[in-house]
Amino acid sequence: MARMHSRKRGRSGSTRPARLERPPWVELSSEEVENEVVKLARRGHTKSMIGTIMRDSRGVPLVKVVAGKKITQILKENEIESPLPEELANLVRKALKIRKHLETNHKDLEGKKGLQRTESKIYRLIKYYKKKKVLAKDFKYDPEKIRTLVAR
């Protein structure tokens, strides 16, 4: 699938494991994997980072295959939830970085266009999450107020 705001094709990425049964080399039990996921989440890691850390340093190809639950489900059971969905928080961080850049570089027209594109993605994503009832119906994107939600 092509990118929306450029003439480029999609990004290449790692492929998921083909087998959906527990690999023989994984020595961690499902309880140990769940505890590790909760511990990483309490340290402030995002869901995608938790999956990457589990894959790279613990040898768990997919948390769902080993634990029987997705990372999101494990965090929800342990009442660890972020105020914003991860992809929305990443876009907001990007928009805040561009805004900070534009404070010192007023004439950067490409930066202004980048901010417009990023914020249009944010608005579309907010509309989607409101429809799916992930965000409240009265949620509004205000760059100054949302700064506290994604402080990092």
Q: Report the chain (152 residues): mean pLDDT per 10 consecutive residues.
A: 68 74 87 94 92 91 90 92 89 94 95 95 95 93 83 62
Q: What is the pTM of this model?
A: 0.79
Cα separation, 118 vs 122, in Å, equals 6
Q: How far is CA 91 from CA 46, 79, 80, 83, 88, in A?
A: 14, 24, 21, 14, 5
Cα separation, 152 vs 130, in Å, equals 24
* Residue whose entry in the numeric block shows the structure tokens 């993605």: 121
The residues spanned by each domain of the chain are 30-77, 86-146
Report whether CATH 3.40.50.300 matches the domain 86-146: no
pLDDT of residue 103: 95
pLDDT of residue 18: 75
